[in-house]
Amino acid sequence: MSPDESPHIFDWNHLAGFEFRCKPGLELNDETLRDGLQSPSVKDPTLDQKIRLVHLMDDLGIASVDVGLPGAGANAVQHIEAIVRDIVASKLRIRPNCAVRTVISDIEALVKISERVGVPIEACTFIGSSPIRQYVEDWTLEHLVRLTEEAVTFAIAHGLPVMYVTEDTTRAHPETLRQLFTTAMRAGAQRICVCDTVGFATPIGVRNVLHHVQALVAEVNPAVRIDWHGHSDRGIGIPNTMMAIAGGVDRVHGCGLGIGERVGNTPMDLLMINLKLEGLYHGTLDKLSEYVHLISEATGTPIPRNYPVFGQDAFRTATGVHAAAVVKALRKGDRDVADRVYSGVPAHMVGEEQKIEIGYMSGASNVNWWLEKHGVPSSPELVQKILTAAKQSTHVLSEAQILAVVREHDGGGTVRA
């Protein structure tokens, strides 16, 4: 059940005439194993972990996955080839792609991998496009156009599907984008990618740049598809990606846990949660928790306690008013209401449940529920003793601390935890 279907919620997100829309056939592209691994704080997962992640992506209905950067070295090439071989052998639906510079040597390396595994691998040919990058690199627009034409033409001639990527699209001049994208499309690129490489754009900026790019596609080749690739430097990766979706792109990119360069990419897991709540994702999210926790383990990235949905505190409260409302809903036998009364994301949607703790902001409802869940008989005196201990503490009481109060109240008797 989505929020707008609940009789107990008035859903301002879905008023008549203002429905969130997306282009039919919207796809997700997972960048965890390429852009995600460019984070300076992560470790490179083992090959087995990467393969397991790709299987989870496939289970979740993610359409495509960037399996690496061949130009990163021999180890990267070995992993890319092994992952693609497994995709083929396991008959997964997910399609592989690789990031390559718009230089022939990078594309040649991908062509060789593709020939060895026997399937075409989408070449994500990228090149800087903004004035600031051109200034730093001493690039001319003519140089960029020439590299674009040579690289895309070469990839197409060798049987690779091509997504042409302009790095820093959201800070590039309109005429530069016109020349680069037009050149790529005329050379045969089937996709073009709008990149917010340094997380510069706002949702309004996303809308503006997409209008410009969509007009170019309509003019040159309406069959070309448009991708959106966003970063989170300003903390608005999700809103920007949602704007891109509403603006009609064909595919959007993200990384599990939002890992990636600097502060990271649009978080794929949270994007999927939002798409589910908007009714735009029709699969099940049963494997999403496993996906997130495997990425955390494989890359050495801790999940912050307050990380939405998958953080330790996402469905956990020690506040008296909040706990009382959740408990009242559970007493009514309505788990759906208990999941929503103080939560914007239903816990059961990702296989979780509401957790009630006891701390300095708790009330009797917290204590009574905790005691019941732990099989400890309740009494007004015991509840008050536990609350007194909680009010004197600077943090949520641990199970051992609560049981110590119970034992003291019982005169040292045995309790069942």
Global pTM reads 0.93
Tell me which residue of 290, 297, 310 sits closest to 352, measured CA to CA: 310
Residue 111's Cβ-count burial label (10 Å; 0-12, 13-18, 19+) is buried
Cα(188)–Cα(282) distance, rounded to whole angstroms? 33
Query: Residue 74 is inside which H or E element, if any?
Result: helix 74-89
Residue bearing tokens 């033409």: 153
Cα angle vertex 157, ends 153, 163, to 5°?
Answer: 55
Q: Please, how many CA atoms are within 13 Å of residue 6, restricted to the half-sphere of its CB?
A: 19
Task: Name the residue type at position 412.
Answer: G
Q: Please, how many CA atoms are within 13 Å of residue 362, restricted to the half-sphere of its CB?
A: 31
pLDDT at position 408: 92
**DSSP H stretches of helix in 278-351:** 288-299, 320-331, 335-340
pLDDT at position 220: 98
pLDDT at position 3: 45
* Cβ contact 345:277 at 8 Å: yes
Return the CATH superfamily for domain 13-299.
Aldolase class I (3.20.20.70)
Task: Name the residue type at position 111.
Answer: V
Cα(21)–Cα(283) distance, rounded to whole angstroms? 18
List of long-range contacts for 219-222, beta carbons under 8 Å, 24+ apart: 220/181, 220/182, 220/185, 220/186, 221/185, 221/186
One DSSP character per residue, 161-213 reads -EEEEEETGGGS-HHHHHHHHHHHHHHT-SEEEEEETTS---HHHHHHHHHHH
What is the three-class DSSP state of 341? coil
Q: Residues in the chain with pLDDT < 70?
A: 1-5, 412-417
Q: Return the domain boundaries, the chain.
A: 13-299, 316-409
DSSP conformation class of 119: S
CA–CA distances in Å: residue 369 to residues 65, 109, 331? 44, 61, 10
Query: Residue 250 is inside which H or E element, if any?
Result: none
